[in-house]
Amino acid sequence: MKSNLFTKINIDPAKLPGHVAIIMDGNGRWAKKKLRNRVFGHEKGAETVREVITTCRELKIKILTLYAFSTENWSRPEKEVNTLMKLLKKFIRSEKDELHNKSIKLNVIGQKERLPIDVIEELDLAIEQTKDNTAMVLNLALSYGAREEITRAVRKIAYEAKQGKLFPEDIDEEMVSKYFYTAGMPDPDLLIRTSGEMRVSNFLLWQIAYSELFISETLWPDFTRDEFINILRDYQKRDRRFGKVLCS
Ligand code: IPE
Ligand code: IPE
Ligand code: MG
């Protein structure tokens, strides 16, 4: 049955990315185009999130990391921040059983402690419920900023060095990455950004060193399963050289 699906969509399951990261952008512009307020765009965006999670699970992609709220997004008007937090809580509450049924493990990357207490509680319930799931990991980047992540890692390493728990000469790339929110996970193979913006906006700066980039012009609420599959097909055609010369 499953192999039928891959044949139907012309995807080679052996060449799928193990880790997909997405900068979900364009909710506000989508709503503006429809002469609606930004909240409407965020609500519609949540439906796209559901569809992308389902598609990743179906295709057996092991890790999906979604940029949902950046450290910089705290500077948006208080009303918009509050609405986003409410939507987040509602989303987690309504989706947690479905995530669990699909054997998806929920994980948060970012400053979880900065989120409102009721959102933290809802997240913690879902994290606890899904903690032993093995089919897929869903990383939600919340109050996430790569510079904060790197700074936090440096601070922890410095502290441990000061305590004599590690020696500066032992610090290598592998060790540094263990201090990130993404510790233990492979780097994203594919990074998608919607809404046509050609920037990474402080997302996973270290981890995307060799990710394949894909910028879609589509605004996030209009992003579909079909477009996602097209991107995966495009990804499969890329030569990932990692700085080396490919032997032919
Ligand atoms: C992405 O959509 C969602 C978040 C950043 C929370 P935006 O809200 O950034 O929408 P645009 O970029 O203003 O269209
Ligand atoms: C990036 O989008 C953050 C998220 C998608 C959560 P932004 O809309 O905040 O980024 P900029 O302001 O366009 O760089
Ligand atoms: Mg934006």
Phi, psi (degrees; rounded to nearest 5) at 21: -120, 140
- DSSP states of 38-95 as a string? HHHHHHHHHHHHHHHHHHHHHTT-SEEEEEEEESGGGGS-HHHHHHHHHHHHHHHHHH
Among protein residues, the one whose CA lies closest to atom 10 of ligand 2: 201
Is the whole-model pTM more than 0.85? yes
SS3 call for 153: helix
- State how far the Cα of 45 lies from the Cα of 56, in Å rounded to an integer: 17
Atom of ligand 2 nearest to the CA of 72: 9
How many angstroms is it from 220 CA to the middle of ligand 1?
A: 9
- At residue 65, φ and ψ (nearest 5 deg) are -115, 120
To the query of whether residue 234 is one of the catalytic residues in this protein, the response is: no
Give me the domains of the chain, ranges plus CATH numbers: 23-145+188-231 (3.40.1180.10)
Q: Which residues of the chain have pLDDT under 70?
A: 1-3, 248
Q: What is the pLDDT of residues 129-151, one digit of tens each?
A: 999 999 999 999 999 999 999 99
Q: Residues with beta carbon inside 6 Å of ligand 2?
A: 23-25, 67-70, 72-73, 197, 199, 201
Tokens 């937090």 belong to 85
Is residue 187 flagged as an active site residue? no
Name the residue of 43, 195, 201 to mutate for ligand 1: max ligand atoms within 8 A of Cβ. Answer: 195
Name the active-site residue from 37, 73, 133, 202.
73
Structural tokens at position 198: 């050609």
What is the predicted pLDDT for the residue at 247? 76
Of all protein residues, the one whose alpha carbon is nearest to atom 9 of ligand 2 is 73
- Euclidean distance between CA atoms 196 and 24, whole angstroms: 11
pLDDT for the residue numbered 2? 55
Backbone angles phi, psi at 198, to 5 degrees: -95, 55
Index of the ligand 2 atom closest to the CA of residue 141: 6
Residues linked to residue 67 through DSSP beta bridges, in sequence order? 23, 141
Spatial strand order in the sheet of 136-144: 104-109, 136-144, 63-70, 19-23, 190-193, 212-215
Do 17 and 189 meet the contact criterion of CB atoms below 8 Å apart? yes
State the pLDDT at residue 1. Answer: 54
- Residues 33-77: tens digit of each pLDDT: 999 999 999 999 999 999 999 999 999 999 999 999 999 999 999
In this structure, which ligand is nearest to the CA of 143?
Answer: 2
User: Cβ(25) to ligand 1 under 6 A?
Assistant: yes
